Amino acid sequence: MGKLDGKVAIVTGGTSGIGRRTAEVFVEEGASVVIAARRLELGQEIAAALGSRAVFLRTDITQEADVQAMVAHAVARFGRLDCLFNNAGGPAPAGGIETIPLDRFDAAIAVLLRSVMLGMKHAAPIMKTQGSGSIINNGSVAGLRAGFSSSMIYGAAKAAVIHLTRCVAMELGERGVRVNSISPGAIATGIFGKVAGLPDDAAEKTAEVMKQIFTGMQPLPGPGLPEDIARAAVFLASDDSRFINGHDLVVDGGIIGGRLWTPQQEALGQMRAALRQAAGEP
């Protein structure tokens, strides 16, 4: 038996990175999944490969009509909605606060924050009527600590996602609907290629490079992978997390826990040596 047998889920941004792997794992665990994203041909290919319990719907998550249609499609196709994973995201403008273009700020907020609000807005009435459901929003360690993104706007948007999650959890929890977030750390996906300005297809090829870059950034060895976030999403979508609500699940290998042990000890050793030298001690 799978952990999600009989459940119906929507995964936004389901054609790449975390979203794609989550859709795959959800199906493996027994769920029926609506994959919502922009790339039509790729989305259809992924859904076809996953079998009859997966369907693709071309969706612009910044447009309310598209999000409303996405939720309606899941219910019409599979009869209910048990999980919404608001995963879709993208890069945000970098640079100092005085250089941020307003149009790019607005576009980033639409993708990173407004889409999450829209997903919850239209999933809520379905789940409230059912008296059950799990909404999962994709946060980030950049929303918990400054300096973990090349874009302060990205960090601010993710902080808003995490707090909006808590606020909505207080409301929907009263009707049996759980709302939680996942905050990934350094996960090797193609989003960093997109941040660098590469087109989608080229950006996806950069994930292997990011694995090498992220190795050693956190106490646990090796890079974070989309699989790690997908498994966390399975937990929050499943009945195993039935009493968890308003929680931000950090999946980061310990990167925001503090300074890495070995570099800290090396720095302390250098400081002691400098102090002995200044005091004229051998």
State the catalytic residues.
154
Would you mind telling me the total number of residues written for the chain in this entry?
Answer: 282
Question: How far does Cα 73 stand from its chain's mean position?
Answer: 22
Task: List Cα–Cα distances, 97 to 113, 114, 125, 152, in angstroms.
Answer: 19, 21, 38, 8
The conformational region for residue 30 under phi > 0 = left, psi -120 to 50 = alpha, else beta, is left
What is the token pair recorded at 84?
A: 């919404």
How far is Cα 25 from Cα 11, in angstroms, rounded to an integer?
A: 11
> SS3 of 243, please?
coil
Residue with tokens 């990934």: 184
Q: Assign 257 to helix, strand or coil.
A: coil
Amino acid at 183: S
The whole-angstrom separation of Cα 81 and Cα 34 is 10
